[in-house]
Amino acid sequence: MLHAIVMAGGTGTRFWPASRNDAPKQLLQLVGEQTMLRQTVDRLGELAPKERQLIITNRRLVETIRSQLPELPASAIVGEPCKRDTAPCVGLAALLVSRDDPDATMAVMPADHVIRPAEKFQAAIRQAVALVDASPRRIVTFGIKPTYPAEIFGYIQRGEKIQGIGADAKAFKVKQFKEKPDLVTAKKYLDSGEYYWNGGIFVWRARTILDALRERQPAMLGHLEAIVKAWDTSERDAVLDREFTAIKPISIDYAVMEHATDVAVIEAPFEWDDLGGWQSLTRLIGQDENTNTIVGKHLGLGTSGTIVRTADDHLVVTLGLKDVIVVHTPNATLVADKHCEEQIRQVVKRLEELGWSEYL
């Protein structure tokens, strides 16, 4: 059976000051009428029923997520006691779904990507499941056809085409994974036509990923198995805290994907955006006649190329601005040159150093 695993533990620091510790990016309404998490779950449609959906998140977000996803049982939302990257998240999910379904197939996805339309996403997941069914040890990922030489994404180099999963499907063997490149290398990737952006969505058998972790990360898997052994006992929280904290952080890409031999990539037939920062809103929401992207109430004179986000009828007035980001929240306001967007992470780090937790 197919189980949907949603990774919802990120912090979304590049969306500060809207994104905070208790309300990170995936729990915000940034594009569309619903939060990113709500959109992710709704996008699943009939792929996996509610009893086969699992949300892995930070413990402090569990109650908020339950309020956003009231249809899910309490057991479907698992809170990690600390941040340990994606490999422990995936391993824990694989162990949990395997308890009742040893032959489980998992579709693993982030909670904070924009993907549309839902119908094409669902069709692509079904194609991935067919690839796994045809070769149960296979790992399937999704590649996003690049539109510019991005330096912020990892890349997947495709190999020969895989036949037999439908006339419309573009599936290939993975030749190799590449880390985030410099601009010159990214241009070479784009020009070659052989590379995709790594979308961070996977389909595999739970048994396959557990075997890979047992081989590559045995200490991690040992900690995770101790957690699941105590899952239905009164010691669950204590064991979870002790064992999960002892795990060394590592991503699923480093732990498994870069070492796997039977990996397929499906060229994503859907629109995809990782919503990496405030400038993503321009791509997804669009611009007005003055090339501004506005969310909320705004009056601009002599303003162009500017992103403004405000809420609760709070008016933002801009005069003579060009290529600026303005984000207003009840207790913090960001005003930044668009070209300095990456430095927002440094702002968050500095706030932490100052102990100004009320702004985090």
- The alpha-carbon radius of gyration of the chain (Å, integer) is 21
Q: Which pLDDT tens digit goes with each residue over 88-110? A: 999 999 999 999 999 999 999 99
Q: What is the mean pLDDT of residues 236-245?
A: 98
The H or E element that residue 316 is part of is strand 316-319
Residues 261 and 311 in one domain: no
Residues 149 and 292 in one domain: no
pLDDT at 210 over 80: yes
CB 159 within 8 A of CB 264: no
Residues 355 and 312 in one domain: yes
Residues 253 and 127 in one domain: yes
C-alpha distances (whole Å) from 219 to each of 70, 107, 204, 214, 224 are 35, 24, 22, 8, 9
CB 17 within 8 A of CB 345: no
pLDDT at 166 over 90: no
pLDDT at 167 over 70: no
300's CB contacts (< 8 A; 6+ apart) are 290, 292, 294, 306, 308, 317, 318, 319, 321
Residues 107 and 209 in one domain: yes
pTM of the model: 0.95
pLDDT of residue 217: 98
168's CB contacts (< 8 A; 6+ apart) are 269
Domain endpoint, select from 242, 273, 304? 273
pLDDT at 204 over 80: yes
Residues 253 and 289 in one domain: no
Q: In this structure, are strands 271-273 and 114-116 parallel, antiparallel, or unpaired?
A: antiparallel
Amino acid (one-letter) located at 344: I
Helices (H), the chain: 36-43, 62-68, 86-100, 118-134, 183-192, 206-216, 218-229, 236-245, 252-255, 280-285, 344-354
Domain endpoint, select from 273, 307, 323? 273
Q: Dihedral angle at the C-alpha atoms of 111, 114, 120, 126, nearest 10 degrees?
A: -20
Angle of helix 118-134 relative to helix 36-43, nearest 10 degrees, comes to 60
The helices-and-strands tally (H runs, E runs) of the chain is 11, 17
DSSP single-letter state for residue 153:
S
Residues 260 and 146 in one domain: yes
Residues 57 and 29 in one domain: yes
Q: What is the mean pLDDT of residues 30-47?
A: 96
CATH of residue 113's domain is: 3.90.550.10
Residues 302 and 258 in one domain: no
Residues 97 and 194 in one domain: yes
Domain endpoint, select from 273, 298, 327? 273
Q: For the chain, what is the domain count? A: 2
pLDDT at 169 over 90: no
CB 95 within 8 A of CB 240: no
What distance in Å separates the CA atoms of residue 26 and residue 37, rounded to the nearest whole number? Answer: 5
Residues 308 and 208 in one domain: no
Q: Residue 126 belongs to what domain range?
A: 2-273
pLDDT at 165 over 80: no
pLDDT at 353 over 80: yes
291's CB contacts (< 8 A; 6+ apart) are 304, 305
Residues 262 and 284 in one domain: no
Q: In this structure, are strands 155-161 and 53-58 parallel, antiparallel, or unpaired?
A: unpaired
C-alpha distances (whole Å) from 231 to each of 72, 192, 240, 296 are 19, 49, 8, 45
Query: Binning pLDDT at 50, 70 and 90, where does residue 354 land?
Result: very high
- Candidates 205, 207, 199, 191; CA nearest to 266 is 199
pLDDT at 328 over 80: yes
